[in-house]
Chains A and B, each alone.
Chain A
Amino acid sequence: MPHESELLAFADAAIDPAASPERARTALLACLGEEGTTDAAAVIAGFDAITRVADGSGIPLEPPKAAATADWRASLGIDAYWSMKI
């Protein structure tokens, strides 16, 4: 994935109120420039919000999605998330 580590570091720093995203943003700007960094910020921010919509409303995975992702969820540890246990 192009610029994978820079993108992931930027996401981690952007959504952590205790972190400073300055260094990660500077690194990403060097890779992607202003437009790419802005698009990355928008995606991160949008998903910081929509995850709360999903988890705050109690919606389940659609049955076909749940069936199709069963193996991935188990292998990636997603089935260990709190919301899967209750």
Chain B
Amino acid sequence: MQIAWHALSGPGVWWTGAERVEIAQETRAARACALCATRKAALSPHTVAGTHDAATGLSEPAIEAVHRIVSDPGRLSEAWYRRTTSAGLQDEAYVELLSVVAITTAVDTFDRARGAAPRALPAVLPGEPTRRRPAGAKPGLGWMPMLAPEDVTSDDPPLYSAAGRIGGNVHRALSLVPEAMMLFWDMFEAMYLPQDAMRDFGREYRAIGHAQIEMLAARVAVRNQCVY
């Protein structure tokens, strides 16, 4: 978790370190946004117009993306995604933004659950984004192009090389930015279970058992209205 948190401070593939830290800061601001709260309570989030309580100078589509992913992830839609990205947020930048929101969410929820104060945002590191898109990424699975294991080339980071990362749809979700996918999954598997351990029911790897782990996972998915 510490590795992922501090990696937010440096340049990514499509955002600078300063912008990535702003995305983390905006993630925190979204939890107290009045517009997000009103939309969350509405029968449909699309019926409520307004302006987000933004904390950063990120672009409007970036702020909209961060706030909706944070506050109402179960009611995101492809139509919303197309509107938001067509307003000035390319697919690759959205995917990296999604990974930063996810890492910030994981770190903040963990600290909150443990009774710790939110940790300080990491100090920004200089540098420019590499802006490299995997050549084999193809549309068709989700809302944006994704990189299937069979389309990975020697020029791509080894995003499916870790044991058990077999290229299920959830592994592919961030694959348009392989570095973002790897950073998120390295953190996630440390918090949950490595993929092989997940299916090894003959041994317990944590102080809570497989059944307790899966019950917690299911509860959070229900609360967040996540079908996957």
Please give the residue numbers on chain A whose beta carbons come within 8 Å of chain B beta carbons, in ascending order: 1-4, 7-8, 10-12, 14-17, 21-22, 25, 32-33, 35-62, 73, 78, 81-84, 86
Residue B51 interfacial (CB < 8 Å): no
**Which residues of the other chain, A, contact B213 by a CB distance below 8 angstroms?**
39, 43
Residues of A near B209 (CB, < 8 A) are 2
- Majority-rule SS of A interface residues: helix
A8 to B73, CA, bound (A): 21
Measured CA separation A37–B69 after assembly (Å): 27
Residue from A4, A53, A59 with most neighbouring chain B CB atoms (10 Å): A53
Docked CA distance A22–B116 (Å): 11
Enumerate chain B residues within 8 angstroms of A33, measured Cβ to Cβ: 207
Partner of A47, one of B108, B114, B221: B221
Q: Are A53 and B174 in contact (CB under 8 A)?
A: yes
Is B93 part of the binding interface, using a Cβ–Cβ cutoff of 8 Å?
no
List the B residue with the shortest CB-CB distance to A73.
B227
The binding surface of chain B is classed by DSSP as helix
* A55 touches which of B95, B217, B224 (Cβ 8 Å): B224
Shortest CB distance A18–B (Å): 9
Known: A40-B113, A59-B170, A62-B169. 17 other contacts (CB 8 A): A17-B112, A21-B115, A36-B206, A41-B109, A43-B192, A45-B109, A48-B220, A50-B102, A51-B221, A53-B173, A53-B174, A55-B74, A55-B226, A57-B142, A60-B169, A81-B74, A83-B74
* B156-214 interface with A by 8 A CB criterion: 168-170, 172-174, 184, 187-188, 190-192, 206-209, 211-213
Task: Establish whether residues B212 and A3, one from each chain, have CB atoms under 8 Å apart when the complex forms.
Answer: yes
Q: Is the CB of A17 within 8 A of B31?
A: yes
Q: Is B216 an interface residue (CB 8 A)?
A: yes
Residues of B within 8 A of A58 (CB): 76, 78, 81, 142-144
Give the distance in Å from the alpha carbon of A36 to the alpha carbon of B219 in the complex: 17
Residues of chain B contacted by A17 (CB below 8 angstroms): 31-32, 112
Question: Which B residues are in CB contact (< 8 Å) with A45?
Answer: 105-110, 113, 191
